[in-house]
C-alpha cells in the first residue's frame, strides 16, 4: 500500500470510528456490531503502526472513548479511565504475554494474573471521601465523564458508605453497572405494557437506565454493579496484588465478581477463558469476554501505559454467538442506491441476549452458495447490536417442502426491471428516477453542482418537499412556485424566489449535464460527455442498442447494458418526457467524429489528463481541450493519443510509458495550445 492510499484509508477509518462512537456512546443506538467496530479499530492500529507519520493527536487510537452526553454535569476524572486492548485468539494472548516479558524480563514466571468475566454494561467511577459516596461518573471520553451521582445512589449494590472504621481520605472504586437477564426481561415486559419500545439488550438497558435525568426511573430498573478496579486512591489503600485489593473493596461493601480468579501464565489464561465460555449461557448476566491483569501492583506500575490502555491488562473477546431457528420467509428491501437486499424472517429466537426475528442474507448469490431455502432450520449469528446474519442451513433438518429462494426480476417497490452487473453479486432496481426507495438520493443527485446545479435545493429542503408530497420525481421541481415554497417553515419570500429562479435557470443546460443528472448506473461526468459527443442527441442515445453504445470510447458491456436497461423502463421515460416538457433544453452538439476537420492539434485526439497543473485547473484544461475538438477520457488505453502529465502524476503516466503513448508535460501542453496561458 502506498503512503497516499494509506493516508486516505486512515482518514476514512477515523471518520467511521468517530461516527460509530457517537452512535454508541451518545445516542445509545449502535450502527455496527462489536466485531465490525473491532475490525475497523484494529485495521486503523495496523495502518498507523506501518505509517507512524500519519498518527495525529485526535486519532481514535490516541484516546479511550466517546464524548460525554448532554444533560448531565461534566466530571473530569482525577485519573483517566482507560480502555483495554483486545485479543480474539490464543495467539494474540500469547503475544500479550511476550510483550510483558520483553518490557519486564525479570518478572517472576509463570506470570501471575487476575482473571475475571468482562461484564457487558456501562463503566462507572465511584468517588468516596472519608468513606462517603460523593460522586459517581461515567467513563465519557476517559478524561471527562457525566455526573450520575443521584442515579448511582439508587443502585442497591453500590454502598453509600464504606464499611470500614477508618476509611481512606479518597478512594475511587471503578466497575461496571449492568442489568441481569431477569431484570431485563421484566423491564421489557413493562415497556411493552406501556406501549413503549423494548430495549435491544441488557447492556443498552443498563446504559439508558443509568443516564436517566429522573433518578426515580433509574431506581425502578433494578441495576447491578461489580467493582473491577480503582482510580485515585490515598496512600496505603492498595495492597500488594490486584486480587487482594479487590478483596479489600469487597470487605468495604463493594461487590466484586465471585468468578474472579488467580491464574498462572498462558495456560492459566487459556483454561480460564474456556471455562468462562462454557459457563456463559448459564450466567444471569451478559459477558462478552474475560479480562486478564498482571496481579502484582508493583509490576503494573513498572509496565505502565500506552496512550489509551494499560500494558499490563488485556480483554479476550468471545466469538459471536449463534442459535438455530426456522426460516419462515424472505422479503426484499430496496436501499437508497437501488440495491436489493434479501432479509430473512425468522421464528423468534434469543441470540446474544436479544430476541431475533429477522436477519440479513446479504445477497442472492450468497443464498445460492449456502443453499438456504424457506422452511430450513438455519444457524443465526449475532455479533453485536445490528441485524444478525444467517450463517447457513442445518441440512439434516431440511423438510421435504423447503422452497428455493428465487431472485426477483422486478423491483418490489416500483416494478422496474432488476439488473445485475457481470461479476457483481448485488441486484439493483433500474427505476432510478421513479422508484420511491431511491427518491431522496435520486433527487439530491439531480440538483447537484455537476448535474443540473440548482442552488438552494439541499438535502433538508428536498426531504421537506418529499414529505409534503410536492416532489416525487425530478420533473416535479419544475412545477413548484415561489408562493408554495414560502409556506414552508423557515423559508422566506426572498429565499423562495431565489430557489425558483435557480430552478428556472437550470432549464438551460447541456446534454452531458442532463445525462449525468439522470443518475444512470456507472454513467459519470466523463461517460456522459462521451455519449453526448458520440451521438449528438438524447434521442439517439435513448434508441442506441448495446452494440452501438460499446462503439463509444471506454464504454464496455456493463455500462452499455445499464444504459439500455435504464432507458427501456417506462417509468424513466415518463420522467424524462416530463423534464423536456418543463422546458429543459441545450444547444445542439456535433458528434465528435466531425471534429477532425478542425485545424487544432488536439482535434479528434483522445487525451488523458493526470497530475496537478499549475497554470489552470484540471476542469479548465478539460474544457479547453474539448473546445479544440479533443476527446478527454479518464483511463489510458492503446486508443489514447496523448497523456498530459502534471506534477505528481501517478499510475496513468506509468501506463502511458508502458504502452509507448506520447506524454506532454505542462509546458509542452501550453505550447500546443498556442503558447497562450489562461
Reply yes or no on domain 3-62 having CATH 1.10.287.610: yes
Residue 28: which region, alpha, beta or left (left: phi > 0; alpha: psi -120 to 50)?
Answer: left
Average pLDDT of the residues of the chain: 87
Buried b (16+ CB within 10 A) or exposed e, 61-85: bebbbbbbbeebeebebeebbbbbb
Q: Residue range 238-249: average pLDDT?
A: 94
Q: Residue 25 has what DSSP assignment? A: I
Give the per-residue pLDDT at 409. 93
Q: Between 140 and 597, where is the model more confident?
A: 140
Asked whether the predicted pLDDT for residue 598 surpasses 50, the reply is no
A 10 A CB-CB count for 105 gives 8
What pLDDT digit, counting tens, does each position of 105-120 carry? 999 999 999 999 999 8
Q: Where in the chain is the domain with CATH 1.10.287.610?
A: 3-62
What angle do helix axes 557-568 and 570-581 make, rounded to 10 degrees? 70
Q: Which positions ≥6 away from 559 have C-beta within 8 Å?
A: 522, 523, 527, 549
Give the per-residue pLDDT at 325. 92
Q: Please report, for residues 262, 298, 301, the alpha-carbon distance to residue 104 in angstroms, rounded to integers and kept in the order given.
A: 20, 12, 11
Give the per-residue pLDDT at 518. 94
> Is 593 one of the annotated active-site residues of the chain?
no
**CA–CA gap between residue 572 and residue 610 (Å, rounded):** 35
Q: Between 667 and 503, where is the model more confident?
A: 503
Contacts of 8-11 spanning 24+ positions with Cβ under 8 A: 9/43, 9/47, 10/44, 10/47, 10/48, 10/51, 10/54, 10/59
Sign of dihedral through CA atoms 633, 635, 639, 644?
positive
Map residue 664 onto helix, strand or coil.
strand
What pLDDT digit, counting tens, does each position of 392-423 carry? 898 888 999 999 999 999 999 889 999 887 67
Q: What percent of the chain has pLDDT over 70?
A: 92
DSSP string, 525-546: HHHHHHHHHHH-SHHHHHH--H
Give the per-residue pLDDT at 93. 95
- The active-site residue out of 74, 118, 194, 605 is 118
Q: How many helices (H) and strands (E) does the chain have?
A: 24, 26
**CA–CA gap between residue 9 and residue 47 (Å, rounded):** 9
pLDDT band per the 50, 70, 90 thresholds, residue 345: very high
Secondary structure string (H, E, C) spanning 422-491: CCCCCEEECCCCCCHHHHHHHHHHHHCCCCCCCCCCCHHHHHHHHHHCCCCCHHHHHHCCHHHHHCCCCC
The CATH code that applies to domain 321-404 is 2.40.50.140
Strands 313-317 and 86-87: parallel
Task: Assess whether the previous peptide bond of 662 is cis (omega < 30° from 0).
Answer: no
Q: What percent of the chain has pLDDT over 90?
A: 45
For residue 431, which of 521, 362, 512, 363 has the smallest C-alpha distance? 521
What pLDDT digit, counting tens, does each position of 224-235 carry? 999 999 999 999
pTM of the model: 0.47
Q: Which positions ≥6 away from 569 have C-beta within 8 Å?
A: 416, 417, 430, 431, 434
What pLDDT digit, counting tens, does each position of 522-568 carry? 888 888 988 988 888 999 999 999 989 988 877 888 889 889 999 99
For residue 437, which of 453, 413, 460, 456 has the smallest C-alpha distance? 413
What is the CA angle 523-528-530, rounded to 5?
A: 120
What pLDDT digit, counting tens, does each position of 453-464 carry? 999 999 999 999
**CA–CA gap between residue 526 and residue 532 (Å, rounded):** 10
Arch. (CATH architecture) of 413-585: Orthogonal Bundle (1.10)
Sign of dihedral through CA atoms 595, 597, 598, 603?
positive
What pLDDT digit, counting tens, does each position of 7-64 carry? 999 999 988 887 886 666 445 577 777 778 888 988 998 898 899 889 876 677 764 4
Q: Where in the chain is the domain with CATH 1.10.150.20?
A: 413-585
122, 65 Cβ separation under 8 angstroms: no
Q: Where in the chain is the domain with CATH 3.40.50.10190?
A: 592-672
For residue 293, which of 276, 314, 318 has the smallest C-alpha distance? 314
Residue 668 phi, psi (nearest 5): -65, -35
Q: Between 626 and 177, where is the model more confident?
A: 177
Q: Which positions ≥6 away from 102 have C-beta within 8 Å?
A: none
112, 299 Cβ separation under 8 angstroms: no
State the burial class of residue 261 (Cβ atoms within 10 Å of its Cβ: 0-12, 13-18, 19+): middle
**CA–CA gap between residue 206 and residue 185 (Å, rounded):** 12
- If you count them, how many residues does the chain have? 678
Q: Residue range 161-170: average pLDDT?
A: 89
**CA–CA gap between residue 443 and residue 3 (Å, rounded):** 37
CATH superfamily, domain 86-317, is DNA ligase/mRNA capping enzyme (3.30.470.30)
Asked whether the predicted pLDDT for residue 649 surpasses 60, the reply is yes
Cell numbers given for 191: 415497556
Map residue 213 onto helix, strand or coil.
coil
Give the per-residue pLDDT at 291. 97
Pick the CATH number of 592-672 from 3.40.190.10, 1.10.3720.10, 3.40.50.720, 3.40.50.10190: 3.40.50.10190
Give the least confident one: 232-241, 487-496, 612-621. 612-621
Q: Where in the chain is the domain with CATH 3.30.470.30?
A: 86-317
**CA–CA gap between residue 541 and residue 533 (Å, rounded):** 11
308, 61 Cβ separation under 8 angstroms: yes
Q: Residue range 208-215: average pLDDT?
A: 80
Give the per-residue pLDDT at 596. 37
Q: Where in the chain is the domain with CATH 2.40.50.140?
A: 321-404
Amino acid at each position: 500500500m502506498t503512503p497516499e492510499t494509506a493516508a486516505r484509508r486512515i482518514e476514512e477509518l477515523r471518520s467511521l470510528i468517530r461516527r460509530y462512537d457517537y452512535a454508541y456512546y451518545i445516542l445509545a443506538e449502535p450502527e455496527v456490531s462489536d466485531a465490525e467496530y473491532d475490525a475497523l479499530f484494529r485495521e486503523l492500529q495496523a495502518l498507523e503502526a506501518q505509517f507512524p507519520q500519519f498518527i495525529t493527536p485526535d486519532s481514535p487510537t490516541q484516546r479511550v472513548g466517546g464524548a460525554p452526553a448532554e444533560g448531565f454535569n461534566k466530571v473530569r476524572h482525577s485519573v483517566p479511565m482507560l480502555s483495554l486492548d483486545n485479543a480474539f485468539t490464543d495467539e494474540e494472548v500469547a503475544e500479550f504475554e511476550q510483550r510483558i516479558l520483553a518490557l519486564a524480563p525479570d518478572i517472576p514466571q509463570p506470570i501471575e494474573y487476575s482473571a475475571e468475566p468482562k461484564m457487558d454494561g456501562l463503566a462507572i467511577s465511584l468517588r468516596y471521601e472519608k468513606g462517603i459516596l460523593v460522586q459517581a461518573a461515567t467513563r465519557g471520553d476517559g478524561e471527562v465523564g457525566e455526573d450520575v451521582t443521584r442515579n448511582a445512589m439508587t443502585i442497591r449494590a453500590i454502598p453509600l458508605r464504606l464499611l470500614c472504621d477508618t476509611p481512606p481520605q479518597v478512594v475511587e472504586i471503578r466497575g461496571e453497572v449492568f442489568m441481569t437477564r431477569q431484570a431485563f426481561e421484566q423491564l421489557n415486559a413493562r415497556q411493552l405494557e406501556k406501549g413503549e419500545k423494548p430495549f435491544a439488550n441488557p447492556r443498552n438497558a443498563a446504559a439508558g437506565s443509568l443516564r436517566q435525568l429522573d433518578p426515580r426511573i433509574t431506581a425502578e430498573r433494578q441495576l447491578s454493579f461489580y467493582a473491577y478496579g480503582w482510580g485515585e486512591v490515598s496512600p496505603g489503600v492498595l495492597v500488594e496484588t490486584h486480587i487482594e485489593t479487590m478483596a479489600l473493596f469487597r470487605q468495604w461493601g463493594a461487590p466484586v465478581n465471585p468468578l474472579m480468579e488467580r491464574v498462572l501464565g498462558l495456560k492459566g489464561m487459556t483454561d480460564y477463558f474456556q471455562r468462562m465460555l462454557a459457563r456463559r449461557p448459564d450466567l444471569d448476566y451478559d459477558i462478552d469476554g474475560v479480562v486478564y491483569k498482571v496481579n502484582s501492583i508493583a509490576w503494573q506500575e513498572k509496565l505502565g501505559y500506552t496512550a489509551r490502555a494499560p500494558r499490563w491488562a488485556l480483554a479476550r473477546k468471545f466469538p459471536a454467538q449463534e442459535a438455530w431457528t426456522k426460516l419462515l420467509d424472505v422479503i426484499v428491501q430496496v436501499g437508497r442506491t437501488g440495491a436489493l437486499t434479501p432479509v430473512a424472517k425468522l421464528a423468534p429466537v434469543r441470540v446474544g441476549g436479544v430476541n431475533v426475528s429477522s436477519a440479513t442474507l446479504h445477497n442472492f448469490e450468497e443464498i445460492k452458495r449456502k443453499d438456504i431455502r424457506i422452511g430450513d432450520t438455519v444457524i443465526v449469528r449475532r455479533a453485536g447490536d445490528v441485524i444478525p446474519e444467517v450463517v447457513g442451513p442445518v441440512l439434516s433438518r431440511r423438510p421435504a417442502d423447503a422452497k428455493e429462494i428465487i431472485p426477483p426480476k422486478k423491483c418490489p417497490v416500483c416494478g422496474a426491471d432488476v439488473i445485475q452487473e457481470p461479476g457483481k453479486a448485488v441486484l439493483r432496481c433500474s427505476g432510478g428516477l421513479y422508484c420511491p426507495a431511491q427518491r431522496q438520493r435520486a433527487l439530491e443527485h439531480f440538483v447537484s453542482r455537476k448535474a443540473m446545479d440548482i442552488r438552494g435545493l439541499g438535502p433538508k429542503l428536498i426531504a421537506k418537499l418529499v414529505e409534503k408530497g410536492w416532489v416525487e420525481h425530478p420533473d416535479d421541481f419544475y412545477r413548484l412556485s415561489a408562493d408554495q415554497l414560502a409556506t414552508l417553515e423557515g423559508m422566506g419570500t426572498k429565499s423562495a424566489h431565489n430557489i425558483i429562479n435557480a430552478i428556472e435557470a437550470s432549464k438551460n443546460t447541456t446534454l452531458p449535464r442532463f445525462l449525468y443528472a439522470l443518475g444512470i448506473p456507472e454513467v459519470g461526468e466523463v461517460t456522459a460527455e462521451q455519449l453526448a459527443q458520440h451521438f449528438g442527441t438524447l434521442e439517439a442515445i435513448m434508441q442506441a442498442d448495446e452494440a452501438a453504445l460499446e462503439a463509444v470510447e471506454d464504454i464496455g458491456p456493463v455500462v452499455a447494458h445499464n444504459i439500455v436497461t435504464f432507458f427501456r423502463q417506462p417509468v424513466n421515460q415518463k420522467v424524462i418526457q416530463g423534464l423536456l416538457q418543463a422546458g429543459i433544453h441545450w444547444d445542439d452538439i456535433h458528434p465528435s467524429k466531425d471534429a477532425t476537420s478542425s485545424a487544432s492539434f488536439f482535434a479528434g485526439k483522445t487525451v488523458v489528463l493526470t497530475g496537478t497543473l499549475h497554470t489552470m485547473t484540471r476542469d479548465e484544461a478539460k474544457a479547453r481541450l474539448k473546445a479544440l475538438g479533443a476527446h478527454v477520457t479518464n483511463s489510458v488505453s492503446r486508443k489514447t493519443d496523448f497523456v498530459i502529465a502534471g506534477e505528481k502524476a501517478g499510475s496513468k503516466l506509468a501506463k502511458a510509458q508502458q504502452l509507448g503513448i506520447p506524454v506532454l508535460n505542462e509546458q509542452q501542453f501550453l505550447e500546443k495550445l498556442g503558447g497562450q496561458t489562461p
